[in-house]
């Protein structure tokens, strides 16, 4: 079947489905394959549940509604690319903004969406659907009312962004920053830098434009390395903006641009979000939305999904930034926390995953940095933090010796003469159990860690 033929079928369906358990009726089901699953085994169930058609790479039953292809993922991507190319707004293909970066992708995407929605009907990546499956699914959500699409692209290996831009074909691009993340897949910081630069490479080839934070020397250098890249500058210093101090009365990020007599009040925690706000201002302005309109829209945005959230419970004030973590974002979050004025402060930090050979040294740096901060309690969660600590503190057994002895040790609590507490826990569940037995009250708490550490487990005990 040709891609045009499949597209005609897609247009007749109610949407796309990749999970046979979530069929509502009339969908085009794609039987995707992974390391631990084979969607071909569920194609018949999808049809029984009400899917209109099923795209498969292996025929398990005889049914005229099965569409046999060589590779279901590649077909999904081809269909998404075709849909993107065949969607027109005022006689022109729909505008697509591609967005990537080490940190802040999702928050920046949501802020840009919020600003552009002042004037346009915007379709954007939902949640964290930013990989080889998520990007085509996001593109296929574009409908007849969509005027602009914002597509977030994540990467954990070389070539990932190159693959994703070939699917979404962006007219504009934005790299939030480049930092130390997914080093296991990229091999080094230079590998990360090269991968993020694949968006700039694409835009240079197509003579399209990149929004560049010119305050960021790394991004400025990357843009300069591509002399034919057309850029639209932005930045805190570039706009002459001032980040106003945060305190208990004003805990959220506030920004003032004196030259424009503009004040931006956000519901985001952390000065590191200022770059994300500036990106939204820049994109909005380029598409005809004034800074005043953008500021009002940004003020209405409420973060969710454990990203730069503040939550006040009956007992404590929580700063929740636990959706992901890497050395760059961990340093930014802890630096911001150090500047918060609060009587009792506590850090709860989970492992930073996928750092490869640099994992132990990077976790050790965070331990050294944070144990020198003016906080009353620090709780580290995960084997990577535990391993890094055990190499320099004889009071903490190595994870290998613990497993070998089978002693079941899951926590170590250290106290000093100033009643400062440092704790190491194998899992977030272990920390939650400790908090249940040792309740905390009157504290301001930063909770951060990679998704795999599930730091949100402790929330019910705070």
The values of phi and psi at residue 417, to 5°, are -65, -15
Which domains does the chain carry?
3-71 (3.40.1390.10), 87-300 (3.40.1190.10), 309-461 (3.90.190.20)
The closest of 80, 14, 83, 103 to 328, measured between CA atoms, is 103
Q: How far apart are CA 443 and CA 215, in angstroms?
A: 35
The values of phi and psi at residue 169, to 5°, are 50, 65
The reported pLDDT for the residue numbered 406 is 43
pLDDT per residue as tens digits for the range 140-167:
999 999 999 999 998 878 889 999 999 9
pLDDT per residue as tens digits for the range 17-67:
999 999 999 999 999 998 888 999 999 999 999 999 999 999 888 899 999
pTM, entire model:
0.85
The reported pLDDT for the residue numbered 402 is 59
The reported pLDDT for the residue numbered 242 is 95
Pairing state of beta strands 28-30 and 230-234?
unpaired
Pairing state of beta strands 88-89 and 254-257?
unpaired
Mean pLDDT of the region 257-283: 94
Tokens of 279: 């990106």
Q: How far apart are CA 114 and CA 280, in angstroms?
A: 8
pLDDT per residue as tens digits for the range 383-408:
999 898 888 777 777 776 655 444 45
**On the CB side of 295, how many CA atoms lie within 13 Å of its CA?**
15
Tokens of 376: 């009353």
Q: Is 184 helix (H, G, I), strand (E, B) or coil?
A: helix
Q: CA gyration radius for the chain?
A: 24
Residue with tokens 């770059």: 275
Which residues, at least 6 apart from 76, have a Cβ–Cβ distance to it below 8 Å?
A: 16, 30, 32, 55, 133, 136, 137
Tokens of 48: 């029984």
**On the CB side of 106, how many CA atoms lie within 13 Å of its CA?**
18
pLDDT per residue as tens digits for the range 299-345:
999 887 667 788 889 999 898 888 778 888 888 889 888 888 888 89
Q: How confident is the model at residue 137 (pLDDT cuts 50, 70, 90)?
A: very high
- Dihedral, CA atoms, 281, 282, 287, 288, nearest 10 degrees? 60
Which residues, at least 6 apart from 284, have a Cβ–Cβ distance to it below 8 Å?
A: 112, 115, 116, 118, 290, 291, 293, 294, 297
Q: How far apart are CA 250 and CA 303, in angstroms?
A: 17
């Amino acid at each position: 079947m040709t891609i045009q033929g499949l597209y005609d079928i897609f247009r007749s369906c109610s949407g796309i489905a990749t999970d046979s358990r979530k069929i509502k009726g009339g969908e085009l089901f794609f039987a995707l394959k992974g390391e631990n699953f084979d969607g071909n085994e569920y194609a018949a169930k999808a049809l029984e549940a009400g899917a209109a058609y099923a795209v498969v790479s292996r025929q398990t039953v005889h049914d005229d509604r099965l569409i046999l292809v060589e590779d279901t993922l590649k077909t999904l991507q081809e269909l998404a690319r075709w849909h993107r190319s065949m969607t027109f707004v005022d006689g022109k293909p729909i505008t697509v903004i591609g967005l990537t970066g080490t940190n802040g992708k999702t928050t920046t995407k949501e802020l840009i969406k919020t600003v552009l929605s002042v004037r346009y009907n915007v379709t954007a990546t939902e949640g964290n659907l930013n990989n080889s499956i998520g990007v085509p699914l996001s593109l296929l959500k574009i409908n007849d009312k969509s005027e602009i699409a914002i597509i977030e692209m994540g990467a954990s290996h070389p070539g990932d962004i190159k693959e994703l831009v070939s699917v979404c074909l962006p007219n504009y691009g934005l790299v939030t920053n480049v930092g130390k993340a997914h080093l296991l897949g990229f091999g080094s910081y230079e590998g990360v830098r090269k991968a993020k630069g694949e968006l700039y490479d694409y835009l240079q080839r197509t003579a399209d434009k990149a929004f560049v934070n010119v305050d960021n020397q790394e991004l400025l250098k990357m843009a300069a390395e591509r002399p034919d890249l057309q850029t639209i500058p932005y930045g805190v210093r570039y706009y002459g903006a001032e980040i106003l101090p945060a305190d208990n009365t004003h805990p959220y990020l506030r920004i003032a641009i004196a030259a424009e007599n503009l004040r931006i009040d956000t519901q985001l925690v952390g000065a590191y979000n200022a770059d994300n706000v500036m990106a939204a201002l820049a994109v909005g302005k380029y598409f005809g939305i004034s800074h005043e309109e953008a500021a009002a829209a940004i003020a209405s945005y409420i973060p969710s999904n454990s990203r730069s959230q503040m939550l006040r419970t009956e007992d404590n004030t929580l700063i929740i930034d636990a959706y992901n973590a890497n050395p760059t974002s961990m340093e930014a979050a802890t630096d911001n926390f150090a500047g918060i004025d609060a009587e009792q402060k506590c850090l709860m930090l989970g492992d930073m995953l996928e750092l490869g050979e640099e994992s132990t040294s990077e976790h050790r740096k965070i331990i050294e940095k944070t144990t020198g901060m003016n906080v009353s309690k620090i709780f580290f969660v995960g084997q990577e933090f535990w391993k890094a600590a055990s190499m320099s503190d004889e009071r903490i057994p190595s994870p290998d010796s613990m497993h070998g002895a089978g002693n079941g040790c899951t926590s170590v609590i250290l106290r000093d003469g100033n009643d400062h507490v440092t704790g190491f826990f194998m899992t977030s569940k272990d920390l939650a159990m400790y908090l249940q037995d040792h309740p905390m009250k009157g504290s301001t708490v930063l909770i951060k860690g990679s998704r795999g550490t599930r730091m949100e487990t402790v929330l019910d005990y705070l």
